[in-house]
Chains A and B, each alone.
Chain A
Amino acid sequence: MKPPAFHYVRPETVAEAVAAHAAAGDARYLAGGQSLLATLNLRLDSPDLLIDISRIAALRGVRREGDQIVIGAMTRHVEIAADPLVSRYLPLLVQAVGHVAHPAIRNRGTIGGSLALADPAAEMPACALALSANLEVAGPRGTRTVAADDFFRGTYQTALTEGEMLTAIVIPIPDSPARPGFAELARRKGDYAMTGLAMMAGPAPRIVWFALSDRPVRALRAEAALVEGKGAAIVADLATAGIFVTGDQNASPDVKRHYARVLLARALKDLGLS
């Protein structure tokens, strides 16, 4: 279908974008548009105004600031995959990006857009949690920082309030013993995950599931078993311990728990943990 009519502005600064949102009745920030425009075409949403943030230079690119990597919210998936700082310090993102939809979508879609949408089956929210990211937010009441741990509130629900937008993803450079693991089951490469795993192994491991619940969720019991030096089989058995798993059109909760056990066992094996 065709989207309902809306107005369109293309500000050049974050301040202008936030002001445009505040002045409008019902506005949406347009980043890569790979979910928003599909939503509009399906007439699931009908805002008065789209605020195209794609030409705001301050929202683009990856840089190092001390012991942190800062990724602009408008940085496209294709740019993350090719970025030397990301390859060197955050290889988890490179592994994950290959599973984000298809090349034509990755050429437009952005990391900030994926986080702000908070699809429970998306890769980037889980990676943000696994990498202990902090998300920088700008809005009508100024700027603030929200930990990824506190950002995701449910299916398409985040800590962003009316008029707020993501501006950057700030990720502490992982300690050198920390190593990434990523595994995903989908019916076809590029489809939404049926069950997915993003993890960082090391002294303070983080094991994060996506497509298992209404938001990315840490496997705290499995993480604790890993810290205690338990064997891979025991850790994998704890894959979904204490986690409320929801079924969807792909699989029942029982099947998803099984997938999770298999994926965690595979990821631990790939990491050389047995």
Chain B
Amino acid sequence: MKIAMTLNGETIEAEVEPRQSLVDFLRGLGLTGTHSGCEHGVCGACSVRVGGQVVRGCLMLAVQADGLTVDTVEGLSQSGEIADLQAAFHRLNALQCGFCTAGMLLTAQDILATNPVPSRADIREHLSGNYCRCTGYQAIVDAVAEVAVERSGG
């Protein structure tokens, strides 16, 4: 099937099989920052933004994104939108193996957009659908909390 979308600010067209997930489609384009983990919506490693909202890239087909706006961690990195989050993750060791990091960054950016001054409990709840199998949650919450303070003029 022929599809078109605005991917990281660029209009693209592609031919895809209906069964191809959005995350596999993106990775096939070389955008391998988004990871494919459990492939049934549990782990959050495949998080991407569609129409400005964070979604599971494994629970959406590429054909469903036809005509929509899709942003990946690469797009958010290049635009500088999450530069402060990335710096805080680095500074506070909020990643070990890095497999969950793209999903964590997108979900963290999502909570800061909707709730600029979240409590630690709010952050934990919002990130509850993203697994870190290195179990580094404490540092991840630290990093998001720190950026929340910085962004709110803290």
Residues of A11-49 whose CB lies within 8 A of B: 30, 33-34, 37-38, 40-42
Bitwise interface map of B from 8 to 43 toward A, beta carbon under 8 Å scored 1, else 0: 000000000111010010000000000000011100
Cβ–Cβ < 8 Å partners of A189 in chain B: 125, 128
Cβ–Cβ < 8 Å partners of B19 in chain A: 2-6, 40
Residues of A137-159 whose CB lies within 8 A of B: none
Whether B112 is near chain A, meaning CB under 8 Å from some CB there, is: no
List 5 other contacts, CB 8 Å, given A102-B129, A103-B110, A105-B56: A1-B39, A2-B39, A6-B18, A103-B107, A103-B129
A80 and B47 CA atoms in complex are apart in Å by 22
Q: Can you name 15 A-B pairs with beta carbons within 8 Å?
A: A3-B19, A6-B18, A33-B61, A37-B41, A37-B59, A41-B58, A50-B18, A102-B44, A102-B129, A103-B110, A103-B126, A103-B129, A104-B129, A105-B41, A108-B55
Whether A246 is near chain B, meaning CB under 8 Å from some CB there, is: no
Whether B60 is near chain A, meaning CB under 8 Å from some CB there, is: yes
Residues of A97-133 whose CB lies within 8 A of B: 101-105, 107-108
Whether A231 is near chain B, meaning CB under 8 Å from some CB there, is: no
Is B60 a contact partner of A37 (Cβ separation < 8 A)?
yes
* Distance from A270 Cβ to chain B, minimum over Cβ atoms (Å): 19
A89 and B56 CA atoms in complex are apart in Å by 31
Query: Which label, helix, strand, loop or mixed, suits the secondary structure of the A interface?
Result: loop
Residues of B120-154 whose CB lies within 8 A of A: 125-126, 128-130
Residues of A34-78 whose CB lies within 8 A of B: 34, 37-38, 40-42, 50, 52, 54, 78
Query: Which label, helix, strand, loop or mixed, suits the secondary structure of the B interface?
Result: mixed
Is B60 a contact partner of A33 (Cβ separation < 8 A)?
yes
Is B18 a contact partner of A8 (Cβ separation < 8 A)?
yes
- A37 is contacted by which of B1, B24, B61, B130 (Cβ under 8 Å)? B61
**Nearest 5 interchain pairs by C-beta:** A102-B129, A8-B18, A38-B40, A107-B53, A37-B59
Chain B residue nearest to A98 (CB atoms) is B125
Whether B63 is near chain A, meaning CB under 8 Å from some CB there, is: yes
* Distance from A202 Cβ to chain B, minimum over Cβ atoms (Å): 30
Whether B54 is near chain A, meaning CB under 8 Å from some CB there, is: yes
- B59 is contacted by which of A6, A10, A33, A50 (Cβ under 8 Å)? A33
* Distance from B34 Cβ to chain A, minimum over Cβ atoms (Å): 13
* Distance from B105 Cβ to chain A, minimum over Cβ atoms (Å): 13
Whether B79 is near chain A, meaning CB under 8 Å from some CB there, is: no
Cβ–Cβ < 8 Å partners of B54 in chain A: 103-104, 107
* Distance from B73 Cβ to chain A, minimum over Cβ atoms (Å): 14
In the complex where A38-B59, A103-B126 touch, is A33 in contact with B64 (Cβ < 8 A)? yes
Cβ–Cβ < 8 Å partners of A88 in chain B: none
Cβ–Cβ < 8 Å partners of B59 in chain A: 33-34, 37-38, 105, 108
* Distance from A20 Cβ to chain B, minimum over Cβ atoms (Å): 14
Chain A residue nearest to B110 (CB atoms) is A103
A53 and B61 CA atoms in complex are apart in Å by 13
Cβ–Cβ < 8 Å partners of A52 in chain B: 63-64
A10 and B62 CA atoms in complex are apart in Å by 13
Cβ–Cβ < 8 Å partners of B64 in chain A: 30, 33, 52, 54
Cβ–Cβ < 8 Å partners of B66 in chain A: 10
A102 and B64 CA atoms in complex are apart in Å by 20
Chain B residue nearest to A49 (CB atoms) is B18
A105 and B110 CA atoms in complex are apart in Å by 13
Chain B residue nearest to A190 (CB atoms) is B128
Cβ–Cβ < 8 Å partners of A7 in chain B: 18
Cβ–Cβ < 8 Å partners of A8 in chain B: 1, 18, 61, 63
Is B47 a contact partner of A104 (Cβ separation < 8 A)?
yes
Is B44 a contact partner of A78 (Cβ separation < 8 A)?
no
Is B55 a contact partner of A107 (Cβ separation < 8 A)?
yes
Bitwise interface map of B from 44 to 81 toward A, beta carbon under 8 Å scored 1, else 0: 10010000011110111101101000000000000000
